[in-house]
Amino acid sequence: MHAFPDAKAVVEALRPDEPVILNRPHAAARAARFFVEKFPGKSLYAVKANPSPELLQALWGAGITHYDVASIAEVRLVRETLPEAELCFMHPVKAASAIREAYHTHGCKTFSLDSAEELEKIVDACRNEAGEPAQDLRLCVRIRVSSEYAELSLASKFGCDLLEAPALLQEARQHCDWLGVCFHVGSQAMSPFAFVQALDRTRAAIAEASVVIDMVDVGGGFPSIYPGMEPPPMEDFFALIERHFEALPIAYNAELWCEPGRALCAEYSSMIVKVEKRRESELYINDGAYGALYDAAHVGWRFPVRALEDDLIKPEMDFAFFGPTCDDADYMQGPFALPEDIQAGDFIEVGMLGAYGSAMKTGFNGFGDAQQVIVTDEPMASLYDGSRERPAADNVVNLR
């Protein structure tokens, strides 16, 4: 993969007619080291956010040893890319064949579930050739929690109800060597109190079940920075999680886990797009709703943008984007602030696309090809470059 100092250098060298993905391994590695060093437990990378093998290797090199895989394809990918990685199959609903292959072929011992049916499926799929149950299963019961502090809810699809959780925990305890509780507060949680609420529900479930809990997994939801979404420092999240974890009725040696996806990879990538046409305040660009800008189109996500031409001198104005396909839904309202004199033929860098951007690209309508290069400059925003760190005396939210 070719390396350039920044997006402008890429444009000068290539003048690309197709989108170009700019990867920053140093930014992903910095985010990983931040979690490894500061989160008061173990950090698993949620592979679905960006399954790039190059990214997986960068995270591994920075100390991420456990990976949250959500499909058998992700299991195979991580095992092939990182043979020594610890695989945790954290999708609560899986095919029996996927469970069987993950356990018997790839050495995955950790599985999540949110129903008695899934528990039975896991137990049966992991039996040995003699039909005897596995003795080394590590099971995580997922409970449903609120997503009220998150920009994208994950509260409706997975997780058992608080009334169902105690019985499921008791049943799961009978079939595993190690029992955990997990949840997900939703994507891009903008307040650490999202985790406080979820841990309070976890406390209630554990107390009612009266079983030994070996691990609590607070899931993902850790945010990144986007226009209009500037979260508190990550240290605030970690401090409240640690305090409320320590107060849970769990084993003295119980582990604390988290599953960051966006927070580890959002800063990894940006993208160069070309303006093909301008119609007043609308720019037709060569990537869009069926490409790396899926979130901008379908959930109204605003990404940072900057023009890459030196001769654009007028003040900024707000633009909307149309993508390259023949579909009216290929539209991104934004607003995206760019110089007023931007025109067809100009290039734009769209930042913070490392999470879900390249992972969501499709080949719809014949579009979707994108060259990838490495750039060595800083991402357009960062939680980890030291610029947002509070003074030590005021480094966490009030815990009282």
pLDDT for residue 368: 82
Q: Residue 254 corresponds to which tokens in the numbers above?
A: 């119980």
pLDDT for residue 149: 82
Q: Which of 106-120, 181-195, 218-232, 355-369 has the lowest mean pLDDT?
A: 355-369
Question: How do residues 360-381 score in pLDDT, each as one tens digit?
Answer: 888 888 888 889 999 999 999 9
Query: What does the mean pLDDT of the chain come to?
Result: 92
Residues 292, 22: Cα–Cα separation, whole Å: 12
Q: Band of the pLDDT at 263, cuts 50, 70, 90?
A: very high
The answer to whether 3-22+268-375 and 26-265 have equal CATH topology is: no
What are the residue boundaries of the structural domains of the chain, listed by start? 3-22+268-375, 26-265
Radius of gyration over every alpha carbon of the chain, rounded to an integer in angstroms: 22
Q: Band of the pLDDT at 177, cuts 50, 70, 90?
A: confident
Q: What percent of the chain has pLDDT over 90?
A: 80
pLDDT for residue 390: 58
3-state secondary structure 87-141: EEECCCCCCHHHHHHHHHCCCCCEEEECCHHHHHHHHHHCCCCCCCCCCCCEEEE
Residue from 305, 269, 273, 270 nearest 286 by CA: 273
Residue 400: other Cβ atoms inside 10 A = 3
Burial class (CB in 10 A: 0-12, 13-18, 19+), 192: buried
Choice between 120 and 386, residue whose per-residue pLDDT is larger = 120
Residues 72, 55: Cα–Cα separation, whole Å: 19
Question: How do residues 295-349 score in pLDDT, each as one tens digit?
Answer: 998 888 899 999 998 888 789 999 999 999 999 899 999 899 999 999 999 999 9
Residues 127, 109: Cα–Cα separation, whole Å: 12
pLDDT for residue 400: 39
CATH number corresponding to 26-265: 3.20.20.10
CATH 3.40.50.261, domain 3-22+268-375, yes or no: no
Residue from 35, 18, 83, 67 nearest 267 by CA: 35
pLDDT for residue 388: 66
In the chain, the amino acid numbered 85 is A
